[in-house]
Every structure is written in C-alpha cells, then in structure tokens.
Structure 1
Amino acid sequence: MKTRRSFLQKASISALALSLPTIPMISYSKTQSDPLFNQDEKPLRVAIMGLGSYGTRVAQAMKDCKRAKLVGLVSGTPSKIESWKKEHNIEDKNCYNYENFDQIKDNPDIDAVYVITPNGLHKEHSIRAAKAGKHVICEKPMATTVADAAEMISVCDQMGVKLLIGYRMHFEANTLEVVRKRRAGEFGEIKFFQGLSGFIIGDPTQWRLDPVLSGGGAMMDIGIYSINGARYMIGSEPLWVTAQEVKTDPVKFKEGIDETIIFQMGFPNEVVASCLSTYSMNYLDKFYLNGTKGFAEMQPSTGYGPIEGRTHESPLDNPHVTHQTTQMDQMAAMILDGKEAEIPVDGREGLKDMRIIEAIFEAAKTGEKVALV
C-alpha cells in the first residue's frame, strides 16, 4: 500500500500569504554559539496527538531536536500508548486518551500539543488543546473548511495561545534559498510557476478517502503543497482560480473525494501558476519558477528526503536535515522566544490555503473562474 507518507518518503520527485517582507533568516546550524540552540534554555515540551505514521515520523525526528522535547501522548489506542511510553520514555501522567484529554489543562509539564489526527478532527482537537491553555501545532491542512479554520484561529487568539501549522517546507534550507534569491531579485520579474503534486493512493478504506475525515481527496492531502508552494515561490497572493477535475474511478474516489484536479491561479502583474493535484499518478513532486532573469527548479520539491534542484546559476546544495527536526526546533523558538518564521506558519497562513482550496473546488464544480478578492 502506498500512502502520501510512504510516497513522499520513498518516491517524491514533484502555497496565501501577503507579499512576504524581507526579514532576517533564522539560522539552522546547531552550534553552541547559536542562541536558538542554547542548551541552558528550556525546551518546548510537546504532546503528540495521533500516533499514526506521521506522528511516528515526528517523534523520531524530535529525538534530534535541541529546543523541542516529546513529553506527552494522546491516542485512542492503549497499545500504542504503551509502546510509545517505552520507546520515548514518557511518564504515565503525561498520557491521555481522547476522552480524558481535556484534563491536560491541569498538567504544567506540557506546553504544546501537536495535532496529527485526520483532517476532519483538526478543529475539535485543536480547540480542545487551546481551551486547555496549550499552544497548538496542527498538521496541514489545518481544517476541512474555511469556517472551521477561522474558528480555530479565533479560539486560540481568545485563549492567548499560539496556533502554528505544520508547514515543514517553510524551514527547509533549499526552499529558503530559492525564496531568498527571489526576494533579492535574482530571477528578475516573476512570470510563471508550475507545481506538480501527486502519487497513486492505495488502500481504498483509509481515512484519506473518507469525505468526512479527509474533507476532500488529493487536493487536501497533496495538492496543498502546490498551492502553498506557489504562494511562497511567487511571493504574492492569487487573485483568481480556475480548475478542471478528472475522475477515472468514481467507486474509489466517491463523491467528495477528488482524484485529479488541474488548476490555475492568477497572481498580480499577470503572473500565472499552473498546477496538478492527483491520487492517480506517481513521481509528481516538482516546482518550477520562471522569471525574466532566471529560474529555479526543484525535484523533489516537498518530499521527506533531500530537496534537490537548481537555479539558472547553480545547483541547490544545502545539506539535508530532517525536516521535522528543523520544524520543531524553529517552532519551539517561535513559541518560547517570539522568533519569526521567514515564511509564515501561523493559523492565518493555513486559513489562506483553505480559502484557495474551497475556491478551487468551486471552480472545478462550476467551470467558472472564481475570484479570491
């Protein structure tokens, strides 16, 4: 069985913030002189909610973190709790199920909850964590509707806690290098972006093919990479979308589950993005950015392994660091120290992607261009 997780790990070779201001880059080198990784500073103490395949990946990556530490677990499967407790040396008092989870409000040893449950549960679980006074890190997509995403932001604001979305690519070194070059004008006037995101999904009974739990098909799962990527690569916000849907297997890809969507986004200054999101083709993990003075090409562009690519001048050759390790250390610095991410990862960033996704679904259904402003 191939899932998005295994695909991105093994076979990956293939996005609505405002124009991003130039701000100092956060260093990712783990040196004693780097204040981000000062061993005397307390770590962000994190509980993972949802102990599935991606939760496992995050937990393993956190073993190498300097500012973030896994200290708590939330799962509806007792056997997982037991095995994770042993592997990660988690105390009994920091373990919860979905029924008693709200008691985490009385636990001063947990600072944040990383929600890695199915998309359709993100709103409930994130709001419960926020109402318990814990900072929230939520996997993308942050919700299944714009309304739910907005409510999550509102509750976190009311409770005075951070809401961060698991945009791991926003901390990846080669990705940041391309964004930095674009901001510096090295590609000239940006004209075009292409994003290809897809793989062949396996088990037809999995939650990603359940409309209630997933909120959609390939677009929610993998197409969001091209949406988000277009935004940070181009550096502005889309004004409109058009889309066309193709469905070859209406049994596997039932109503509410998109199989393949080809979509276009129009940006200011007549910049166009042309993208593909699919559950029916492998080896699609590619970004291409074209400007009047040069280009950047990344393939793979969002996979778990090393991100590879080149510009018109040279290869992208920053050393690979496990994305989730970097992400969690940087998010710890954001929560504990007030650091700013070079590419936003807050709830409002996630809300922007949700608005685009809803517009793409509308455009695919109606055949009409849908305005975003």
Structure 2
Amino acid sequence: MTQLIPQGQPGEHTLPDDLNQSHAGAAIAAKPVGGGVARRGFLQRTGTGAAALLLAGVTGKVLAAAPTPGDPNRVKLSLIQDPQTEQAESTPDPAAAPDQRVGYAIVGLGRLSLNQILPAMSQCKYSKVVALVSGDSDKARKVGRQYGVREDAIYDYHTYERMADNREVQVMYVVLPNGMHAEYTVRAAAIGKHVLCEKPMAVSSVECQRMIDACRKAQRFLMIAYRSQYEAMDRMIARRVKEKQLGPLREFIAGNSQNVGDPAQWRLNLALAGGGPLPDVGIYCLNAARFLSGEEPHEVIASVFRPADDPRFREVEQSVHFVLRFPSGWSATCMASYASHESRFFRLQGAQGWAEMNPAFGYNGLQMRKGTLVEGKNATIDITIDPENQFAREIDHMSLCVARNQTPHTPGEEGLQDQRIVEAIYESARSGRAVRIAQPPGPTRGPDPDEETF
C-alpha cells in the first residue's frame, strides 16, 4: 500500500539575512541566494543535523524542532494554540517528494478543467497532474507547459490507450460532456486505471451500471465527483443531522438556476447532456437531499417546462420542479432552471432547528446559517469558516483511497442512485403521476472522508 506524504505549498520564500547565521546553537551552512536561501531547499539541507527554521510571514520566525530519526520527512512544530479550543493548523511537509503523490491524467480540457480542476491541483497534498487528454493538441501543449506536464504525456482520444504504459498515471479524471463519461470510464478501467468522473455520472442508469461493472472487473476504483459532499459546511450540516441536532426532519427546499447563453453549447444537446438543468445543476439539489439527510426517497412527483419559442430549448427542458418524499415522512421540494438569474440555495428544516446555505453549491463564496432556540429565544446564527478548495478536497480523497485501497466516499453506486431518481423525475413529468423509487440494493457511499487529512 502506498504511503503518501503531504505535498508542501507552492512557492518559495527566502530567509532574512539575520537567519543566515547560527541560530539556537546550530550553524546554517547553506549559502544565500539573492539575499537568502529557498525555504524548501534550506529545510532539506539542514536535515536532522540542525534545527529547522520555518518562516511566519516575511519578518516573523518560528523555531521548529528537527525531524525525528524515525520520520525524516516530518518537521515538528511546537504547540502554540490549545487544540481543545482552537482550530488545528495543517502544516504541509516541506520535504515531501513529489513522486509520492498520486498521478492524474485530466481527460478533457474544457472550462471546468482549465478554470477549476487544474488550478486546484496546486492546492492538493496527495495529488499531482502528470498527463493531459484533449482533441486540441495545440491547446494541450500550452496547458502542459503551464502545469509542467511532459509533451510525451499529452494524449488525444485516439491515443488514449497508450496511457496503459504510463506508470505515472494512476487515476483518470474524466471531465467530458455527460454522454461521453461511460465510454472513457470503461476505456480507462480496461487499461488498469482508477477513475474519478465528473457528475452526473452518465446519461442513463444502464451506462452507470456498465461503468461500475467495468471498474469492478478491472479491480479499479470509481469515484463520482460530488464535490459538495467534501465541502466543509455541507459536511457540518450532515453531521448535525446525524447527531439529531435539528430533531426529526420536516422539509428540504432547494434551488439551483442559471441563465444559459449559446444555444449551440453541448449542455443543450440531449445526446451529450442527457437532459437540461436537471442532470446539470438540479442534481445538486437532489444529491444534497439524500446526502444531508442520510435517507433515500421512495416517491417523486415532477413537472418540466420547455418553451416552444426559445431556440435554447429545442431538445432539453428549460426548468424542472420536483418533490421527493421520504419514508420517515419528510419531503424535499427542489427546482432547477436554465432561464433564471443565477441562484443557488437550500434550507433543511427540523423540529428543533434549521440549517441553510445561501449561496450553496458554488465553487466559492458559500454562506451558512442555522436557526435554533438559545436561552428560550429564537436565534439565527451565521457561521463563517476558512474557505477551502472543494476540488482539491475531493481529488485528495480519491488519492488517499487509492493509496489505502479503500472505497471512495462517493463511488459509482452513488451516481447510479441519482441517475435512477433523475429517470423517475422525467417519467413523472411525462405521465403527470407520482412515480415510486426503488430503494438501492446496498450502500451507495463509502467511508466518510478523514477530516484531518484536509
């Protein structure tokens, strides 16, 4: 089993001149470069023979103990804050070897990859990008130079299988239009690679099952990129529900909308997208209802609207509304639209309190509030936490699962169950009747992610 060491933060810092002299009885042998020594190089060269110095900002300094003989890559910091009352700090390992991180091939260089996933790789502790797949070779080479990917590790969709010989690639991150997820997941499994696949998992439950079967046959992991399930505020609400802090659940209300533009984009093509706003943005509402509550719906009633005079919606719906009913008696009312101003929110209400996020589901800027009784008075409490990159969190979770040989928190079964419900929603909208939803035959989620690793 691979042992991963967290990757240090990108960027170099230099030591002030006063630190290029002996400190705490240990001589600093490294020569200054441009007035100082690179932080990582300094730490690596001092090793166990001298006290390692870490910089707190540009001028402040903190003395750190030398690595212990049993763990030469670790730098131990003295405790400053009380761990019982203060948030724990995460200190990246300054001497981590990059080749110990799990290597990813990013399959598809569209907007999501370029704007979110590739930049997030620089914030990952256990993951690195080592290969790119694109139908545009010029773009791929430019992106490769930006992220340090060798030119011989750039592939197109015809040379995809050549990655079987690239031992650096352990995980293929499939970031293609929905209708292509199944093909490229199956092809990745066939050449012995693990797969992290963007949501929605596929455009039909049949395709979802084919993806699961292919990865199971190849003994490779399949994880669906439900980044909200790795986001700290969402996880906080899920824990409150599990600990009964809200009391019995009563209602869930959620919406996710945006006003789409170009009618020629693939999200408005039924074959590539599998539907309109429902599988794209509505699935966040659907998955949140299931994940936050820990329950599975048993019935849905839904409606969709597709205007005849809008060229954007020749093939897919403009908007969808659906109500999920759960065995314990509570319900989830959700909506999604491609023709409304951007809006993302949810509120989960219980007998003893409520929790909401507005905005929710986005890449950043999320806000959380809760309502409860405080000293006999109704109180609304705003909760603000340090922002963290959701993509980095989910990617690193996949890497830890690969290293530990552990089922991911959001495996293929989670995506399959959502797709089954999506199909029930469309069936209800067509028939005008409530549709029963079968309970999944087994668990749809793996172990919770380790919070201390993030």
Query: TM-score over 0.5 for the alignment?
Result: yes
Q: Distance in 2 between matches of 1:238 and 1:115?
A: 28
> Do the aligned partners of 2:253 and 2:346 also contact (CA within 8 Å) in 1?
yes
Q: What residue ranges of structure 1 are gaps of 5+ in the alignment? A: 1-26
Tell me which residue corresponds to 1:66. 125
- Is residue 91 of structure 1 aligned with residue 145 of structure 2? no
Tell me which residue corresponds to 2:108. 50
> Do the aligned partners of 1:193 and 1:234 also contact (CA within 8 Å) in 2?
no
Tell me which residue corresponds to 2:385. 318
Q: 1:29 to 1:218 in 2, by over 3 A?
A: farther
Tell me which residue corresponds to 2:426. 361
Q: Distance in 2 between matches of 1:209 and 1:58?
A: 23
Within 5 Å, which residues of 2 pair with 1:312-351?
312-313=371-372, 314-338=381-405, 344-351=409-416
Among 190, 199, 202, which residue is 1:140 paired with? Answer: 199
Tell me which residue corresponds to 1:269. 328
Among 21, 29, 39, which residue is 2:96 paired with? Answer: 39
Higher share in helix: 1
> Do the aligned partners of 1:285 and 1:302 also contact (CA within 8 Å) in 2?
yes
Secondary structure in structure 2 of the residue aligned to 1:331:
helix
- Is residue 222 of structure 1 aligned with residue 281 of structure 2? yes
Q: Distance in 2 between matches of 1:310 and 1:339?
A: 34
Which structure has more relative contact order (CA 8 Å, sep 6+)? It is: 1
Secondary structure in structure 2 of the residue aligned to 1:233:
helix
Q: Which amino acid aligns with 1:193?
A: F
Q: Distance in 1 between matches of 2:324 and 2:104?
A: 37
Q: How far 1:306 moved relative to its partner?
A: 2.6
TM-score (normalizing by structure 1): 0.88
TM-score (normalizing by structure 2): 0.72
Report Cα offsets for 1:181-224 as digits up to 9, x if no partner. Answer: 11111000011101101111111100000111111111111000
Q: Which amino acid aligns with 1:39?
A: A
**Alignment: residue pair count:** 342
> Do the aligned partners of 1:247 and 1:253 also contact (CA within 8 Å) in 2?
no
Tell me which residue corresponds to 1:171. 230
Q: Which amino acid aligns with 1:333?
A: L
Tell me which residue corresponds to 1:23. none
Q: Distance in 2 between matches of 1:253 and 1:104?
A: 38
Q: Which amino acid aligns with 1:269?
A: S
Mark the structure with the bigger radius of gyration: 2
- Is residue 102 of structure 1 aligned with residue 167 of structure 2? no
Tell me which residue corresponds to 1:301. 360
Secondary structure in structure 1 of the residue aligned to 2:149:
coil
Q: Distance in 1 between matches of 2:89 and 2:310?
A: 49
Identity of aligned residues (%): 32
Q: What residue ranges of structure 2 are gaps of 5+ in the alignment? A: 1-86, 373-380, 439-454
Q: Distance in 1 between matches of 2:301 and 2:95?
A: 48
Q: How far 1:92 moved relative to its partner?
A: 2.0
Q: How far 1:107 moved relative to its partner?
A: 1.2
Q: Which amino acid aligns with 1:336?
A: A
Q: Which amino acid aligns with 2:242?
A: R
Q: Distance in 2 between matches of 1:250 and 1:227?
A: 29
Q: 1:266 to 1:28 in 2, by over 3 A?
A: farther
Report Cα offsets for 1:251-308 as digits up to 9, x if no partner. Answer: 4244541111110000111110000011011232011000000000111110011321
